A = this chain, B = another copy of it.
């Protein structure tokens, strides 16, 4: 079982002073939380680099819904990968532009492939894959 432990960090007084200023600007209340966040961030990066195990990402797409057959094409692509796409959110940015965010879960290589396919679809103006985590092993 997991439990809370404590460890010490030795550091130059000038460096910790600069760090305190930086995390205050980012809205942190204490150093421990800021350092745990840096630790988790580096673990998530390593997880995606190594590409093993199940992970989670979001795919963000901006497109003009007037583009002929674009929506049906995107839907079709998502259904081909039905096991990866967990959920999606659609936002009407203006009369023409839509933003769609898909939450995807699976192997990182598979996620990258479906993201490439969606982002490369004609009519998608901007697309991006954001790599995050299942949270399972990150207490």
State the A residues within 8 Å of B (CB). Answer: 2-16, 18-19, 22-23, 25-29, 31-44, 46, 56, 58, 60, 62-64, 86-89, 91, 93-94, 96-97, 99, 101, 103, 105, 116-117, 119-122, 124-126, 128, 130-139
Contact = CB atoms under 8 A, between A and B. Distances in A.
The majority secondary structure among interface residues of chain A is mixed
A23 B31 CA distance: 20
A40 B125 contact: yes
Given A4-B11, A7-B31, A27-B116, A93 B134 contact: yes
Given A27-B120, A116-B27, A126-B40, A9 B11 contact: no
A25 to B, nearest CB: 8
A135 B62 contact: yes
Contact of A6 (B8, B18, B28, B105): B8
Given A89-B88, A126-B133, A132-B60, A7 B13 contact: no
